[in-house]
A and B are shown apart, each in its own frame.
Chain A
């Protein structure tokens, strides 16, 4: 039988459509345990490729004959080898093109809504890592929020719809991924905004993003109104776009809330986090559609692949917004936290401009899930 390549885009479609897929992950066990391709109806078998060098007979009875099969490894090479062996044994299989490296970098644009006077908002779903970034487009101008380092994709997307990028924002200094914001602003002459309280150590110029600032995109006065909401970092700032969307950064997610410890200040910032979530956000309209900077679990995706929910619904359903007792809240966000993101200190230093690792090193630093949330 034949074997063929499956792209990250094709796998993303299967995740969005909740299709069935049998994932044969041939990376070593610790890498698989740490991070894998997630899909609601995906099934898994993890067996390292180096256990299969003498043949695949021992796993043949564990591989379903009636399901689509995808062989996955870190960079592609080993999955091609195993896919070929399975194909020689009579199975119809695919391998993941570019491996988990490509999966980590894939961005899928999903439209999340229209603006009142024309224009639209797109969410870029980084499906493999759970990072979400945004493009707000109005009258030929575009703003980008929380861009990843895969900057070409945003530039091409803006060009494709005939928009000029005029403003680039980071809601906070990211610890889980390398920001593409500064690079995009440099290439397009756009203004780069960063919260000054997160930027005390940065080595570059930026426009200070503080609460109460209004930025207009396009001629139709689409307002991006900033709202100081510390807690995940001391500078964390949210945006209300067009009085309709709440870009919540890493403060509030769909089924979880931001963790306050990634800059080493959990105890200091837990009060800020509570104030942002339980007081400042409470003053906002419950009709706002929350657009976070991350998802943690695949169940947070809507049917169209977007990650968005009304603020009122989150006040009802998000556990992190419903902890009456302050001590209990403090415990949740400071104790038993998930492991910190891979290389998060180096990632923060890169985002400050202190170190400039090459692309290969940046890829390696970003390996794994984002881990910015607590549930």
Chain B
């Protein structure tokens, strides 16, 4: 999937993956897609809930070698 920006949040513990995602998201335009890589197990539930509450859309997520990848479309 084509992303406008990729954020590497691997190795970061909660709350940093979301703090960084939020910052990266602020630099995007509405409709653009951010790709996030994280290793924190809590990231999946939290990013999903965060995206929903912020009006963004979690388009896709997958897990690959213990790395969680998320594609979030800015609302």
Q: How far is the CA of A73 from the CA of B18 in the complex (A)?
A: 14
- The answer to whether residues A53 and B18 also contact, given A28-B49, A74-B42, A75-B42 and a CB cut-off of 8 A, is yes
- Grouping DSSP codes into helix (H, G, I), strand (E, B) and loop, the A interface class, with mixed when no group exceeds half, is helix
Q: Given the complex, which residues of A lie within 8 Å of B19, measured CB to CB? A: 53
Determine, out of B8-16, B27-35, B67-75, the stretch whose residues face the partner at the interface. B8-16
A243 contacts the other chain (CB 8 A): no
Q: Given the complex, which residues of A lie within 8 Å of B42, measured CB to CB? A: 74-75
Q: Given the complex, which residues of A lie within 8 Å of B60, measured CB to CB? A: none
B65 contacts the other chain (CB 8 A): no
- The answer to whether residues A75 and B13 also contact, given A50-B18, A53-B19, A53-B22 and a CB cut-off of 8 A, is yes
A206 contacts the other chain (CB 8 A): no
B62 contacts the other chain (CB 8 A): no
Q: How far is the CA of A78 from the CA of B45 in the complex (A)?
A: 14
Contact A50 B15 (CB under 8 A): yes
Q: Given the complex, which residues of B lie within 8 Å of A75, measured CB to CB? A: 13-14, 42
Contact A48 B49 (CB under 8 A): yes
Contact B53 A50 (CB under 8 A): yes
B41 contacts the other chain (CB 8 A): yes
Closest chain A residue to B45, Cβ basis: A28
B contact residues, total (Cβ < 8 Å): 14
A29 contacts the other chain (CB 8 A): yes
Closest chain A residue to B16, Cβ basis: A77
Give A19-44 as 1s and 0s: 1 = Cβ < 8 Å from B's Cβ atoms: 00000000011110000000000000
Give which listed residue, B14, B22, B45, B50, contacts A77 with CB less than 8 A.
B14
Contact A50 B49 (CB under 8 A): yes
Q: Given the complex, which residues of A lie within 8 Å of B53, measured CB to CB? A: 48, 50-51
Q: Given the complex, which residues of A lie within 8 Å of B18, measured CB to CB? A: 49-50, 53
Q: Given the complex, which residues of B lie within 8 Å of A74, measured CB to CB? A: 14, 42
Q: Given the complex, which residues of B lie within 8 Å of A51, measured CB to CB? A: 53
B46 contacts the other chain (CB 8 A): yes
Closest chain B residue to A52, Cβ basis: B15
Q: How far is the CA of A50 from the CA of B51 in the complex (A)?
A: 10
Residues on A close to B: CB < 8 A? 28-31, 48-51, 53, 73-75, 77-78, 81, 364
Residues on B close to A: CB < 8 A? 13-16, 18-19, 22, 41-42, 45-46, 49-50, 53
